[in-house]
Chain A
Amino acid sequence: MRVDILLFASLQDRAGSDTVSVELDDSATVADLIEQVSQQFPDLRERLGQVRVAVDQEFRPLDYPVTEDVEIALIPPVSGG
Chain B
Amino acid sequence: MAQPDSRPNGDTPSNEVNDEDFIIELTEQTLTVDATVARLADPGCGAFVTFIGTVRNEHHGRAVERLDYTAYAPMAELEMRKIAHELASRWPIRQLAILHRLGRLEIGEASIVIVLALPHRKESFEALQFAIDRFKETVPIWKKEHFTDGDVQWVEGS
A interface residues with partner B (beta carbon < 8 Å): 6, 8-10, 13, 47, 50, 54, 57-59, 73, 75-81
Interface size on B, residues (CB 8 A): 28
Give the chain A neighbours of B139 by CB distance below 8 A.
78, 80-81
B interface residues with partner A (beta carbon < 8 Å): 53, 69-72, 74-76, 78, 100, 111-112, 132, 135-144, 154-158
Give the chain B neighbours of A59 by CB distance below 8 A.
138
Residues A80 and B112 in contact in the complex (CB < 8 Å), given A9-B142, A9-B154, A54-B140: yes
| Pick from B135, B137, B154: contact of A10, CB under 8 Å | B154
**CB-based contact A79/B100 at 8 Å:** no
Give the chain A neighbours of B137 by CB distance below 8 A.
78
Give the chain B neighbours of A13 by CB distance below 8 A.
154
Bound Cα distance A59, B137 (Å): 12
Residues A57 and B75 in contact in the complex (CB < 8 Å), given A78-B142, A81-B132: yes
